[in-house]
Structure 1
């Protein structure tokens, strides 16, 4: 058995689903629930080395993870290339609909498929194996990936329209207050800048009519002149609306992310923007995505049609840190820019993001992260931002330590839930405020 003589054979795999407090952040589907499910993965080798991973904790992901966990016993943490084949063998199709008509409401990456769900589960196991491998050998994960090219990784402030509290006062309370207009968005950005030193800002859009979100971006540009700004409506706009917003904000946006849904629509917008740029003589506004390019199979069409100029990588989408590096290499080959996407996550995922980001030369933009919004974690010490950046740990593995008391508390919350929060559902959460709410069809505007 490869790795056996080094004590790298897996002897235990532990899965702990948790519910993590989440603020009432708004998006085009609805609003975040008071608590969101995450899955914490722990692996142990015969030498006693342990490793941590994190991924989505929704029911479908948990079912696949449970199937895979037992099959890993007796394998080496170094046998990472064998994980996809193993998953295909032992994991059947997850519960719930998949295919052309199924929307990925948990991951927000377009159509939900069994393959995408497996990749997200694999990502957590791969990170845990790399963490254990690094701890066993005294090497940081970035060294196992070929070595770091930077000592610090830059992140952007992730701005949201939000309510002051969840409907009915459910969930945990914070002191952020509401942000429902340009002034509220600017105040939120100023707090992020003052607290964490962020100098790049992303606004989650698709919540209000485009003119209101244009006004918010303009207000940000006035407050933070010359700073990189991004707007992401999660595919809520039509092609004409996307083109209009892009034209109105071309002078202040770093890029426009997923203004419309699907590769075909993005390609149409991109072509229109190239034409307008050629006519005006100014540089065109790049389009970015984390929705229409989320697997290797989706790359060819998007790149051939020049539908996107920037891909937001996410190791939870792509099957792990090594696949993220492969994606980066493909993007570099075809002259496509690279950034990093984020969904609600804890410190394990942030540590993994930071380790892989440190190894990618072709990382052109600050990474996204929800982490500053999360008041809870399962680590003994929160990961800090300094000047909008996270220091790359050189400690063995991911360089983090699990807090078992915190993990147990978040798991007890999951156990106590009646099932209503074990799958992310922004639409259902919105109905607590608006009983008739249905996620609007796209294009919304």
Structure 2
């Protein structure tokens, strides 16, 4: 065993659940809660080298990654391929409660749940930590471990949301964004995003109001910023018929329509009827779902997410598949912090092919667990060449956010329950909703 191999052996693994502030952002399923859970992973080798990972913090995922973490000491961070075999060995139907298989991989994604998706979620969380630690051991950035970057900066889109001015819960965190509930509010939000971060493309999260109201907002954005690529995501809220009507009305205004309806066959019908490019992070969520989408011509843009696709190397594999079948790639976002964002940037840097600006919730987040949170300048983040992910854990912030988790009873993200605080009669809308 070489010196580097000896130093790569894992001595300890910790998983720290935290709660982070989240704004009152609206979506088809309700509204974001004042706080949302995340999990921070630390993998420490025998010489003290630390690798960081970040993933969902919902109780189902937390239970599984804590279970998985106990099997890692004694293994090498230089062998992330082994994580898949280990997941198959220790996370089986007889060792994982059925409700965890049902709940853990989904996270508002409408693809079919399975043990494979559970494994992908777990492997991704620890693969990132392994790669970060390996980068520090070898003195190279993660993108070097992935074969080298093909771009030096990663473009992001301004992620626009309908939102309230404040959460209805007492003592909830506040921010300075204000309400955006109509076209004027959305345009003002976009203008501020552009002023703060220089975004050069826009995305609106829809599915909140009837389609004609949201068409008006998209139209207003196009008129206010005609030079910027614009995309629209109603989160599968519409029927095929509504999707076709909206796609036709928005022709020439948007670069693509994301998940207007649910289902690969349904998406294919919309594309065939309109010619509108369609994107998804809902109807294709693992490699097994990709062949049918290609055969049906369901999508033209795939939004990957390393958190549930299986990690950074899986993202590279997906880029190769997309290239082979003439599909473009982008990246889905959740309420992530700096570790996840750093991993996204490193993966995007190595994904060859046609790559659209990525999603990010980062401008909405007021907290972080890294010492130097990322800055989006001219709509992009520069790819770090520092060892590993290029980020350092802020232990004081980690402790503060973990203490919040311990004091709170919030253990899962629940947009429906958050909406019911303001409207007790609210129920999760059936889809298609319009």
Q: In the alignment, what sits opposite 1:436?
A: 425
Q: Which deviates the most, 3-12 or 130-139?
A: 3-12
Whole-Å separation in 1 of the counterparts to 2:40 and 2:155? 25
Within a 5 Å distance, the mapping from 1:396-407 to structure 2 comes to: 396-407=387-398
Separation (CA, whole Å) in 1 of partners of 2:411 and 2:301: 33
Q: What is the distance in 1 between the residues matched to 2:3 and 2:356? A: 37
Report deviation, 1:104: 6.4
Please state how far the C-alpha of 1:170 moved relative to its aligned partner: 4.2
Structure 2 residue corresponding to 1:346, chosen from 302, 320, 337? 337
Contact kept? 1:2, 1:78, Cα under 8 Å: no
CA spacing shift, 1:352–1:102, aligned 2, 3 Å: closer
State how far apart, in whole Å, the 1-side matches of 2:279 and 2:104 are.
20
**Residue 47 (structure 1) shift:** 2.3
* Compared CA separation, residues 85 and 290, structure 1 to 2 (3 A): same
Contact 1:98 1:112 in 2 (8 A): no
Structure 1, gaps ≥5 residues long: 274-283
C-alpha displacement of 1:6: 4.4
Residue equivalent to 1:88: 88
Any idea what the Cα deviations from partners look like across 1:9-54, whole Å, max 9, x if unmatched?
Answer: 1111110010111001000000011111101000111222111000
Determine the structure 1 residue equivalent to 2:305: 314
Matched residue, 1:244: 245
List aligned pairs for 1:153-192, cutoff 5 A: 153-192=154-193
Change (3 A) 1:314 1:405: same
CA RMSD of aligned residues (A): 1.7
After TM superposition, the score normalised by the length of structure 2 is: 0.96
Partner of 1:413: 404
Deviation at 1:160, TM superposition (A): 0.3
Residue 280 of structure 1 aligns with which residue?
A: none
Deviation at 1:102, TM superposition (A): 6.8
Report if the CA contact (8 A) 1:242-1:269 is conserved.
yes
The number of equivalent residue pairs is 432
State the Cα deviation string for residues 65-114 of structure 1 (Å, max 9, x = none): 01111111111112111111101211245446367x87966343434434
Tell me if structure 2 keeps the 8 A contact 1:107–1:343. no
Query: What pairs up with 1:83-232 in 2 under 5 angstroms?
Result: 83-93=83-93, 94-95=96-97, 97=99, 106-232=107-233
> Higher mean Cα deviation, 85-94 or 195-204?
85-94
| SS of residue matched to 2:55 | strand
Partner of 2:328: 337
Question: Deviation string for 1:405-436 (max 9, x for gaps)?
Answer: 00001101111112xx2111111111001101
More moved, 39-48 vs 389-398:
39-48
Partners in 1 of 2:63 and 2:3 — Cα distance? Answer: 28
Q: Secondary structure at the match of 2:13?
A: strand
Give the TM-score normalised by the residue count of structure 1.
Answer: 0.94
